[in-house]
Structure 1
């Protein structure tokens, strides 16, 4: 069940699934869904029984405990210090590229590299990019730089809000 909560693990598992495994997973998920539906029906019956006896589920402690857990999480999250953003410049010479569907693409993260190679897509450094794609390189770098600046500025906004409230260093946007 924890596999379903972790998106990275779910994506990794989805790549490894064959049709037979996929049908097994669907059957398992349908079983879990049926169990959850039975739980919902049971809770509804308990709620009706409690109302018939003149009680609410809150009085019996059912929803109070779940409300307390949610409240504790939101309090700790609001006081949590955000990660101080650092701007990382994109050095053209150190970038990697790959060709997918006849178009040159910039490798955004090195964690993508292994997945691309498993799919049979060759990842190459700038020096080994095919000459017919050289005109696309500057545009890809410019787009990546613009996105990096946008991401940095949004993180700076969050950081500065926290810094004002907690006396931290105020950062400038790019």
Structure 2
């Protein structure tokens, strides 16, 4: 008889990238916080920073340097306008990319928003043993990413495999 796997709560940080959002009107960041808590995880910190690659990079860098943070979720700044810079801020920090995340996210999004999904530059990867997911700023995109992709991969009980079971090996060289 096989013992049932127990849920492992992770420590998550949420970064909202926006030139216009505040705590009072942030929908996407709050949605991610609520979803993570509802799934049983701990949200350690949430910040809102302007769409500036150096401010984004500073926030993400501080979290990936902290041993207490297992996952960073960003929302916003993944589009194609001149101010959208989240991928440019985060990619240099990544030790490894999870290319399949962006590909599958856009495939799933296509079912909801059709060809508009090509405007998304959603990415994911690992930096200093911390998983990072960079999501579009819309609440619909955050809902799709969490509900369909991220939630199960951050649940140790997901079979056949999940990202949590790999965490002890992320620091191997």
| TM-score interval, normalised by the smaller of the two chains | under 0.3
Q: Give the number of the structure whose alpha-carbon radius of gyration is greater.
A: 1
Higher relative contact order (CA 8 A, sep 6+): 2
With the length of structure 2 as denominator, give the TM-score of the two structures.
0.19
Which of the two has greater strand per residue? 2
